[in-house]
A and B are shown apart, each in its own frame.
Chain A
């Protein structure tokens, strides 16, 4: 889980390990406690066309040709962004809505907006989940995150289902 604004209400407080045994019996040792850890990636947070993102202060990045390397200091992870993702990354300026950014990219690549919304919104949601970008605000003139009206409609590809 990434924080209060990243998740959908009650799901955030549910114990993902509820119902699982707290101890296990090992022959010759006896009952030992079981420690459960989350080893699956956290679900993607919702992002919407009105959302405005900015690069996290924990992320540093460098451009190499068409690509960008993003280094996240807190997790000591590095990410290589391809040409399209690198452009998207550099458009997150704390002012433009996701709708504006994706529209510009669609124009730049000469493709319909609908054709790129799902993939690129998922990319941004992944960055948000991984702490590479942070939410900088929302435009009141566009539908909020999770809205099914208006474009782009963001599709959530991972569990839990986006109700």
Chain B
């Protein structure tokens, strides 16, 4: 149960937010709509209850999708910023010519790597930082297929265009990454990872052609499920 829960309206969608942060509630006040709260879509826990045993590990603040933590970071401001970006990602329409793809962007050396978000849930952001990697916490990201860039979402309340990073690689999960895939199989898998607007997409054909264009421009990097596989891939790309 969240100490505070409220429903906000953004880009025509209602989003239920749960939090223990009264400051966040105040910030979201301009977007609050008069709707009954339902299951919490996103939650921000800035001061989790700590275990009484002194030897027990400390519980970090978390950002949740539903009840599932998607990031645990010491800095609540970082999580709050991520939450505001995720609200925009979840509600704003996809601009023409862009694909919204499931994944989180890892930034390193000024370029972005699009990685399946669930793979990162158990990865320490501090450990990523030691490798020079910044995780732009989120569940989806816009990909500009024409320029091969990822377009990062801006926080709710910001009008500036999202910053862009050159897309250096994009990963998809596969139970056995050693099995070779064809471009058509890659496109089909990608289409399963593309977020489609709630409104009927006027030009579904463009969805297919954009997916094909991305695959033919840059083949995906397949990674097996599990933390160790991700660790191996990170080591291969960024070193230890």
Contacts and interface: CB of A to CB of B under 8 A. Distances in A.
A67 B212 CA distance: 12
Contacts of A69: 184, 187-188, 191, 208, 211-212
B52 interface: no
B204 A67 contact: no
Given A69-B212, A71-B208, A76-B196, A62 B201 contact: no
A140 interface: no
B207 interface: yes
Contact of B187 (A64, A73, A76): A64
Size category of the binding interface on chain B: 20 to 34
Which of A67, A69, A76, A78 has the most chain B CB within a 10 Å cutoff?
A: A69
What is the predominant secondary structure among interface residues of chain B facing chain A?
helix
Given A69-B191, A71-B204, A78-B192, A62 B209 contact: yes
B191 A67 contact: no
Which of B183, B201, B209 has the most chain A CB within a 10 Å cutoff?
A: B183
A64 B201 contact: no
Contacts of B182: 64-65, 67, 80
B215 interface: yes
A64 B208 contact: no
B185 interface: yes
B216 interface: yes
A60 B200 CA distance: 14
A60 B207 contact: yes
A132 to B, nearest CB: 13
Given A78-B191, A80-B188, A60 B205 contact: yes
Nearest to B196: A76
Contacts of A61: 208
A61 B184 CA distance: 11
Interface in A56-93: 60-62, 64-65, 67-69, 71, 73, 76, 78-81
Given A76-B196, A78-B191, A68 B205 contact: no
A78 to B, nearest CB: 4
A61 B207 CA distance: 9
What is the predominant secondary structure among interface residues of chain A facing chain B?
strand
B216 to A, nearest CB: 7
A13 B189 CA distance: 37
Contacts of B207: 60, 71
Given A64-B212, A64-B216, A80-B184, A73 B191 contact: no
B204 A60 contact: yes
A60 B183 CA distance: 17
A67 B185 CA distance: 9
B145 to A, nearest CB: 13
A98 B201 CA distance: 31
A64 B213 CA distance: 10
26 contacts: A60-B208, A61-B208, A62-B208, A62-B209, A62-B212, A64-B182, A64-B183, A64-B184, A64-B187, A64-B215, A65-B182, A65-B183, A65-B184, A67-B182, A67-B183, A67-B184, A68-B184, A69-B191, A71-B188, A71-B191, A71-B208, A76-B192, A78-B191, A79-B188, A80-B185, A80-B188
Interface of A: 60-62, 64-65, 67-69, 71, 73, 76, 78-81
Interface of B: 182-185, 187-189, 191-192, 196, 200-201, 204-205, 207-209, 211-212, 215-216
Given A60-B205, A62-B211, A80-B184, 14 more contacts: A62-B212, A64-B215, A64-B216, A65-B182, A67-B182, A69-B187, A69-B191, A69-B208, A71-B207, A73-B196, A73-B204, A78-B187, A79-B188, A81-B184
